[in-house]
Amino acid sequence: MKPSTTTLLLLATPAAAASCAKTFLQTATAYYLTSQKAGSPSSLSSLLSTTPNNFLYLENNILIPDWKRSSLLATPLVIDFSRSIHDTTQCATFTELVSATSKHPYVVHTRMLFGPDLSLSLVESVVTDAGDWLFNATGTLNLIRDEKWDPIPSGRRESRSKIQGYADAYFDRFASANVSVPWGAPCLRVEGGVAVRGEMKTDKNKNGTAEECVMVWPVGIHVPYRRYVIDEEFGAVDVFVGFPGLDRTRSDQAVADSHFFRGEAGRIKYLHTASACWTAGCGLNGTVFGRRSLGVPVDNVANKTKA
Ligand SMILES: *[C@@H]1O[C@H](CO)[C@@H](O)[C@H](O)[C@H]1NC(C)=O
Ligand SMILES: *[C@@H]1O[C@H](CO)[C@@H](O)[C@H](O)[C@H]1NC(C)=O
Ligand SMILES: *[C@@H]1O[C@H](CO)[C@@H](O)[C@H](O)[C@H]1NC(C)=O
Ligand SMILES: *[C@@H]1O[C@H](CO)[C@@H](O)[C@H](O)[C@H]1NC(C)=O
Ligand SMILES: *[C@@H]1O[C@H](CO)[C@@H](O)[C@H](O)[C@H]1NC(C)=O
C-alpha cells in the first residue's frame, strides 16, 4: 500500500511540548520495550490519552487500527539488544531493537511521538525480518553491540542542526554527488545486518597527510518524508524516510526506512539502517544497488513476500 503524502506530512509534525522531560521519555521507551518483550500492549497503553481517536500506530507505513491484537507488539520477542534516544525538544523517542534469538528474528526501529499533554500520539515502526534489505539479525547484533555510544561530554555536544546535518548530508548525497558526507572512522555503515565498508583515502587537499573515509553509492534519488529524532547527549539522530525505488519490484514507491546515526566532532561515526522490502532482498538479489555483491546468500531471502 502506498502511503498518502498527507498521512506522512501529518506524521512529520512534531508536538510542541513544553514540559517533556528526558526521564519521562526514558520511562516511555522502557514501557515500549516491556510491551514488546511481553507481547502485550498494556505497558505502552498506559501512555495513551483517555481521549479516543488521537493515536496512530503504523508498521512499515501501514496503519494498524487493531494494533493491540494484530501488530508486532502482540508477539513476545526476545530482546537481545536495544538502544533508545530521547528528544525532549520534539517530545519524541527512537528505539532500535534486535531480536536475533527469537524463533522468528526481527530488527525493529520505532519512533514515538507525544502530544502537548504528554500522551502518546504516534508509534511507527520499521519492522524488518528475513528478506528485508540485507537482513541478518545476528549480523546486526554482532556489529552494533560493542559500539561505543557513551554520552558526549557536555562541553563537546553539538547543536541539533549540526546533528541533523549528518543525516541530511547522507540523504542529500543520494540526490547530488556534490554533497560531501562527513564520514569518519571506523568508515563502516551497518546496512541491515551487513557491514558496508568505505575506503580510507589520502586527501590531497589536506597536505597529503590526512586520511578521509570515502563511501561509494548512487546518485539521482531524492529521499523525502524525513522525520527526525535527535538526542544531543549522544550526538544521535534517527531519520524515518520513504526510500523511493529501493524495492526494484515497485520502483514508483517509497520503502519504509529508518537510518540511525551517531556523529562525533563533525564526523559520522556510526550508521545503522533498517529498510522493509516488499519482495525478497528488495528485488536486488543480494547486491547493494545492483552493483557490489555483499555475499548475502540469495537463498536465504528467496521466499520473502510482503503484501
Ligand atoms: C548472518 O550474520 C552472521 C554473523 O555475522 C553470519 O555468521 C551468518 O553467516 C550470516 N547469515 C547470512 C545468511 O548471511
Ligand atoms: C556540481 O557542481 C558542479 C561544479 O561545482 C556544477 O557544475 C554542477 O552543476 C553541480 N551538480 C549538481 C547536480 O548540483
Ligand atoms: C604540511 O606538511 C608539512 C610537512 O609534513 C608540515 O610541516 C605542514 O605544517 C603541513 N601543512 C598543513 C597545512 O597541514
Ligand atoms: C534478480 O534475479 C531475477 C531472477 O534471476 C532476475 O529476473 C532479476 O532481473 C534480478 N534482479 C536484479 C535487480 O538483478
Ligand atoms: C521457498 O519456497 C519453495 C516452495 O514453497 C520451497 O520449495 C523452497 O524450499 C523455499 N526456499 C527456501 C529458501 O525456504
What's the whole-model pTM score?
Answer: 0.81
Q: How far is the CA of 212 from the centre of ligand 3 (A)?
A: 17
Instruction: Give the pLDDT confidence of 152-195 residue by residue, as tens digits.
Output: 999 999 999 999 999 999 999 999 999 999 999 999 999 999 99
Give the residue, out of 81, 132, 138, with the most ligand 1 atoms within 8 A of its beta carbon, to mutate for a pocket test.
138
Instruction: Give the pLDDT confidence of 28-74 residue by residue, as tens digits.
Output: 999 999 999 999 999 999 999 887 768 999 999 999 999 999 999 99
What single-letter DSSP state applies at residue 305?
Answer: B
Closest ligand 1 atom to the C-alpha of 296? 14
Query: In the numeric block, which cell numbers belong to residue 135?
Result: 537482513
According to DSSP H, which parts of the chain are helical? 5-11, 22-38, 42-45, 67-70, 137-144, 160-175
Pocket around ligand 1 at a 6 A CB cut-off: 136, 138-139, 142, 193, 296-297, 300
Catalogue all structural domains in the chain, each as residue range(s) with its CATH number: 5-144 (3.10.450.50), 154-303 (3.10.450.50)
